[in-house]
Amino acid sequence: MAAFLELGVMPEIIQATEEMEWTLPTDVQAEAIPLILGGGDVLMAAETGSGKTGAFSLPVIQIVHETLVDKLDGKKRGVVDVSKGPIECKMSFIDRDHNVAIRDDGLLCQCREQKAWQGCRSTLGVSKSGKYYYEATVTDEGLCRLGWATGRSLRELGKDKQSFGFGGTGKKSHGSQFDDYGEPFGKNDTLGCYIDLDSKSVHYSKNGKDLGEAFHIGKDIEESAFYAAVTLKNAEIEFNFGDTSFKHKPKSGFVGLSKAKGASVVPNTAGTGTPPKKQCPSAIIIEPSRELAEQTNDNVIKFKKYLPHPPVKELLCVGGTAVKDQIKALGRGIDIVTGTPGRLDELISTGHLDLSQIRFFILDEADGLLAQGHNDLIQRIYKQIPTVTWDNRRLQMIVCSATLHSPDVRRLADKLMHFPTWVDLKGQDSVPETVHHVIVSVDPAKDTSWHTLGSVIQTDGVHERDKIHAKSNSRETLSEAIKRLKPIYTVKAIDEHNMDQAILFCRTKLDCDNLERYLISLSGGAKGMVNEYSCVCLHGDRRPQERRDNLQKFKDGEVRFLICTDVAARGIDVRGIPYVVNVTLPDEKSNYLHRIGRVGRADRMGLAISLVAANQEKVWYHTCPSKGKKCSNARLTDEGGCTIWYNEPQLLADVEEHLGETITQVDPKMKVPVNEFDGKVVYGEKRSGSGGNYEYHTAQLAPSVKELAQLEFEAQKSFLNMRSYGLKGKTAIGK
């Protein structure tokens, strides 16, 4: 318990980890947990199996629970009533978009972004009653909108029903509705922004001229706190909240925002400063697959087991499950939501998943999410989350990725995260010493055994309309031959190494189905470990329950082989896997390490064999609306079809360049040479001979250590002689 206690974890959560036999934190947990508990944004590079789920789940659960306790006790962290003393009013250094620069005094905002609107809110908001005013002078050319916004609004002023804006084009905006109002304004114009909380109205003035009522504040937000707000695009604007004389005296009864008295005023907050009545989620965790979302949700359930009242409520939101049940649960109140992009997008867009109280925005396997094309969704969700919560806590982002060196992950972090701390215990991609990885060339010009296979092996149908001749070396013939040879080579690898359990990676769902069908024809199938080639399939076209059952069968050892695609396998934590076979190389070089990293964990040896075609292979690459369902258009994509030529020799070169090494090639007999340093290797077992090797290396290093010791002695002796000489010289000078 002491190790986790030192990280600041609650004893009740530690009790749950001990029940899970977690005696010591992993490296990534030891680094990340204190950072998250301390309130910072964290970027962590960690593979599945490194303890990354615990690294973000443990502190998030703890803080969410503490927040619930605060709500129960009625505490208002950071809430200040100005009747108890003056508070400085300025534009917030926290509640702003990244491309908004704010002068030291907080009274000038500048944005040089020319394509996207960037916003900022004031540190003080007013609520309930009173009449308030502030001035803003446009000090440079550009576009801007000024006005008032609640803490729950988007920072792009006027784009939702939580904010009211007036822009330089002479348009007023609320809820994305832009209407003519007043008159245009620009550089050197001074705008007056009024809010009357007694009559529930907002109006503006230009250079002292009253432009009339612009908006009426609706009942749905009339109890909110309202902040001075601006959104800019390549513009600059200066504010006066009343600490100095206004250029244009406000109408009778209105006071400067900084002089507000008697009203509930809340600095740097996203709400009214009081605990919200509705229990909305405090944390949202986005996962790239259903399986990983389920695993993370299961871990949350285990970690929170011994927490005292009030309970932390969690919800799993994934496709293939009843959305009505999830909507009902959200209506009753949920604290931590874990889900996949599609279902989360559905719940958010329909208004059932309220983001107004989100404290933690967590992207697990971020590189996978971006590879799936969810960048726009991530940014859209981020923009709907208040930067500061009701209790004056800043939004925290936690991003986990297999590597932080992906340009896409870097760009995302730069855009969304607030000075994140990097927890990168991996450095640049490299293969662990416990993983042997080799390639086997599949060359149909040399291995002509495919001639006799006939229809024994079903292929993907790309060449159904091509004329394939067994004795021809045409591009299409060799491509079809590769498709027939690879399942044969897969079985060779299984037989040669007596694989009792392995993950077999294929490029497409159809390839997975065909390989499963072939292994079943060899008397395998999902009938248990007694069958030599028993297998199950895992990919997106299988029903959710079937996927869960198949994964569980593999985890429980009921079948020997799990056949899957990259997307389906990402994030699945199956411990102790001794073998991986890449039936096809991944099209993303970073996925090579994802795959082979399934073996060689916990200091156990693992073997990864990649089957690399010597020639290019024509494969499906569906761009059609049906995403491949009932598609038979085998023309190339640049001809309006749904196929490409897959160049595995080039993909292999990309992987080797990425790793900075040449991968060992073995012949089709699959004999893998044993590295002398490792001694006798038993894949799936602990690395053997480590003690002897350590002793051997110590003896080998002994002469060098002895020489270093002698050099150190000479250096110290020289230093002492110089010091003695210097002291004598100093004495002589002193005389």
Task: Assess contact for 119 and 82: CB atoms under 8 A.
Answer: no
Statement: 435-678 belongs to CATH 3.30.200.20: no
* pLDDT at residue 188, rounded to an integer: 96
CATH homologous superfamily for the domain 82-259 = SPRY domain (2.60.120.920)
For range 63-79, the mean pLDDT:
73
Task: Assess contact for 241 and 89: CB atoms under 8 A.
Answer: yes
Peptide bond preceding 310 in cis form (omega within 30 of 0): yes
* pLDDT at residue 99, rounded to an integer: 78
For range 67-83, the mean pLDDT:
61
- Write out the two tokens for 647: 């160049």
Q: Please determine, for residue 569, whether its predicted confidence score (pLDDT) is greater than 90.
A: no
The three-class DSSP label of residue 382 is: helix
Grade residue 549 by pLDDT with cuts at 50, 70 and 90: confident
Q: Provide the residue count of the chain.
A: 735
Residues 6+ apart with CB under 8 A from 190: 135, 136, 137, 138, 206, 207, 208, 247, 248
* pLDDT at residue 675, rounded to an integer: 57
What are the pLDDT digits (tens) for 200-252?
Answer: 999 999 999 999 999 999 998 988 889 999 999 999 999 999 999 999 999 99
- Which residues make beta-bridge pairs with 581? 504, 609
Gap between the Cα atoms of 604 and 433, Å rounded: 10
- Write out the two tokens for 120: 């900022």
Statement: 2-73+278-424 belongs to CATH 3.30.420.40: no
Q: Which of 8-17, 232-241, 694-703 has the highest mean pLDDT?
A: 232-241
Q: Please determine, for residue 196, whether its predicted confidence score (pLDDT) is greater than 80.
A: yes
Burial class (CB in 10 A: 0-12, 13-18, 19+), 614: middle
- Write out the two tokens for 343: 């279902």
| Residue tagged 């690395």 (tokens) | 687
Neighbours of 415 (CB within 10 A): 15
Neighbours of 425 (CB within 10 A): 15
Q: In percent, how much of the chain has pLDDT > 90?
A: 47
Mean pLDDT computed over every residue of the chain: 83
Q: Please determine, for residue 510, whether its predicted confidence score (pLDDT) is greater than 70.
A: yes
Neighbours of 546 (CB within 10 A): 14
Return the biggest CA–CA distance within the chain. Answer: 105
- Write out the two tokens for 414: 């730069």
Q: What's the per-residue H, E or C state across 290-305?
A: HHHHHHHHHHHHHHCC
- Write out the two tokens for 415: 């855009």
* pLDDT at residue 298, rounded to an integer: 95
